[in-house]
Amino acid sequence: MPLLTFASMPLLHARCPALGLFLGAVFVMASSPAHAQSAANRPSLVVLITIDQMRADYLDRFASQMHGGLARLARGGARFTNAHQDHAITETAPGHASLLSGRFPRSTGIMMNRIGVDDADAPLTAGAYGTGASPKRFIGTTFADWLRAANARTRTLSVSMKDRGAILPIGRSKSDVYWYSADGRFTTSTYYRDALPKWVNGFNERQLPQSYAGKNWTLLLPESSYAEKDSVPVEGGGVDVVFPHRLPNDPVDAGSLVRATPFMDDLVLAFALHGVSSMGLGTTSTQTDLLAISLSATDVIGHRYGPDSREIHDQILRVDRALGGFLDSLYALRDSTTITIVLTGDHGVGTIPELAPDSVQPRPTRVKLYGLLPPLIARMVAAKVDTNAIDLDEQILLMNRTMFKNQALADSLVDAFAVAARQQPGVSRVDRFRALIADSLSDPIARRWAHQFPATAQIELVITLTKFSTFGGNVASHGSPYTYDSNVPLIFYGAGITPGVHPEFVRTVDIAPTLASLVGVKVGERVDGVALPVGTKP
């Protein structure tokens, strides 16, 4: 049975009715009351900075060598050290969709990367290279909508290397949303606008990505400052594993491959600053504008080299310096006392399975379960059941039971798959989804699966791997309900924020109601998060 892809999404209802049904259901929980700041203390600009694949422990692991923006935010903000993306499939799309919606994936509709933003009906603007994209699968509202409901003049800018990193934090809002095309330009899709504004064209005409042609990614600090080995064959798939890492001499190739280097974050931050200046964000005290920035280079580098590599060490130091320069430039443009900043991540990442310490037992491995499907398919064919009635998407087994006249056969197929899957190396548990979510109060793994999908989802089984085991072909990966994938930074900094360290368990869904409280706008719908104690109540 083939893996579901973005391209297959328009056909899901016809090809896989089970998944088509489960996409349509949502469930939301109520939030706690928020305490609004007085009008005089409301920020004129809120900045959300999301670092893709940023583990919370990086802030402490590399603290002694950080002197830029990460260090400034961690030491001068309200830092929550036990913050989590509290759902089971910790991926980019579900993580970004949770940040400003205040809701878990089960209610945003963005439950996996494959249920993301690809949309052939929204092609890229100005002939940019890549797949069309829009938030059409996103359900509900976000902080951007709540701001605009309070003041129609509110302006929003969201930027990223990734389309989903730019789109999903602000949901369906028709705002200024831009991401990086492989042809070396920042672009958008026709969902937002039919032509790029003058300021975006002006930035693209500078051809900054192409200027990296022939440039080396070298170590920021002397080699003795890095404890990690530089030559680890499993990293990078055995290719280009030693510093320096050189970009091609051809400007076109460099404009594409720059995405796999720290220089990509520099480009996104430069574009964001250009947008703040060009759009006039944060220039008036009568409204609060929103800037959302998602930095993707850490994710690309982390997937290729892993969280324990010299490359990720250097990348975090470079993000720290880049954010320091960004903050200095932003505060030169706008009064720092009128800006509230939030720093977080969309997910973490696990150690490369082959490099896990000997103490990790059972030994991590790379898991493939699609080979378990053919016996089930053969039984369905023999019983003259449409084979589209069942599907596997790595961690979930889906079934459209309405296509089975014999429910005993359906149960037998599910049971057979569960028995076979439990015997596979790297599989920790295989659970009936409905039974699992019924016990979510006492089982943290169950809780995160309950947050991932609505109770009405046509999901029969969910598969949880052993620690550090992975699906897929990335050298290092994420997507599990374990702490190394869920624990992300969460720091509030600036206007309205009281500095301090908070060790209590919190979730990224708490960001949106907290910001609504700080700004003094009404949360637009029932949410899963609550307002956190980050400032002085009026």
Q: 247 pLDDT exceeds 60?
A: yes
CA nearest 96: which of 155, 146, 134, 49?
49
pLDDT of residue 536: 60
Note whether 406 and 515 are same-domain residues: no
Tokens describing residue 278: 């060009």
Q: 338 pLDDT exceeds 80?
A: yes
What is the mean predicted confidence (pLDDT) over 113-131?
92
Note whether 348 and 378 are same-domain residues: no
pLDDT of residue 6: 27
Note whether 20 and 64 are same-domain residues: no
Q: Is residue 29 part of a domain?
A: no
- Number of other CB atoms surrounding residue 20 within 10 Å: 17
Q: 25 pLDDT exceeds 90?
A: no
For 345, residues 6+ apart whose C-beta sits below 8 A from its C-beta are 50, 51, 52, 53, 54, 55, 56, 85, 95, 488, 489
Q: Verify cis geometry, omega within 30 degrees of 0, for the bond prior to 222.
A: no
Note whether 442 and 509 are same-domain residues: no
Note whether 299 and 434 are same-domain residues: no
pLDDT of residue 38: 52
State residue 469 phi and psi, 5-degree precision: -75, 155
pLDDT of residue 3: 30
pLDDT of residue 12: 32
Which string of DSSP letters, residue by residue, matches 47-98? Answer: EEEEETT--TTHHHHTGGG--SHHHHHHHHSEEEEEEE--SSS--HHHHHHH
Q: Is residue 226 part of a domain?
A: no
What is d(CA 511, CA 530) in angstroms, rounded to the nearest whole number?
8
- Cα–Cα distances (Å) from 233 to 9, 229, 240, 241, 475, in that order, read 37, 10, 9, 7, 11
Q: Are 271 and 203 within 8 A, CB to CB?
A: yes
Q: Is residue 165 part of a domain?
A: yes
pLDDT of residue 20: 41
> How do residues 137-174 score in pLDDT, each as one tens digit?
999 999 999 999 999 999 999 999 999 999 999 999 99
Q: 298 pLDDT exceeds 90?
A: yes
Q: What is the DSSP letter of 335?
A: -
pLDDT grade for 40, boundaries at 50, 70 and 90: low
Lowest mean pLDDT across 27-41, 83-97, 494-508? 27-41
Residue type, 424: Q
What is the mean predicted confidence (pLDDT) over 428-453?
92
> How do residues 474-495 score in pLDDT, each as one tens digit?
999 999 999 999 999 999 999 9
Tokens describing residue 533: 């104690």
pLDDT of residue 27: 35
Q: Are 18 and 399 within 8 A, CB to CB?
A: yes
Note whether 61 and 133 are same-domain residues: yes
Note whether 66 and 180 are same-domain residues: yes
> How do residues 362-420 score in pLDDT, each as one tens digit?
999 999 999 999 999 999 999 999 999 999 998 999 999 999 999 999 999 999 999 99
SS3 letters across 94-136:
HHHHHHCCCCCHHHHCCCCCCCCCECCCCCEHHHCCCCCECCC
What is d(CA 483, CA 474) in angstroms, rounded to the nearest whole number?
19
Q: Where are the alpha helices (DSSP H) in 234-309?
A: 251-257, 263-279, 297-305
Q: What is the dihedral of CA 234, 238, 242, 246, to 10 degrees?
A: -140
Q: Is residue 335 part of a domain?
A: yes
Q: 35 pLDDT exceeds 90?
A: no
Q: 500 pLDDT exceeds 60?
A: yes
CA nearest 432: which of 442, 417, 423?
417
Note whether 147 and 295 are same-domain residues: yes
pLDDT of residue 440: 77
Q: Mean pLDDT, the chain, as a whole number?
A: 92
Q: 1 pLDDT exceeds 50?
A: no
Note whether 315 and 458 are same-domain residues: no
Count of the separate structural domains present in the chain: 2
Domain that holds residue 444: 6-24+368-424+427-465
Q: Is residue 196 part of a domain?
A: yes
- Number of other CB atoms surrounding residue 472 within 10 Å: 13
Note whether 176 and 98 are same-domain residues: yes
Q: Where do the DSSP E strands lie in 386-519?
A: 390-393, 396-399, 427-432, 459-465, 490-494, 500-507
Map tokens 């220039």 to a residue: 283
What is the mean predicted confidence (pLDDT) over 252-266?
97
Q: 129 pLDDT exceeds 70?
A: yes
What is the mean predicted confidence (pLDDT) over 448-453?
96
What is the mean predicted confidence (pLDDT) over 500-514?
98
pLDDT of residue 439: 77
> How do residues 411-434 score in pLDDT, each as one tens digit?
999 999 999 999 999 999 999 999
CATH number at residue 402: 3.30.1360
Element (H, E) at 318: helix 310-333
Q: Is residue 531 part of a domain?
A: no
Q: 218 pLDDT exceeds 60?
A: yes
Residue 435 or residue 11, greater confidence = 435
Q: Is residue 529 part of a domain?
A: no
CATH number at residue 141: 3.40.720.10
Note whether 263 and 409 are same-domain residues: no
Share of the chain above pLDDT 70, in %: 92
pLDDT of residue 17: 36
Q: Is residue 272 part of a domain?
A: yes
Note whether 333 and 373 are same-domain residues: no
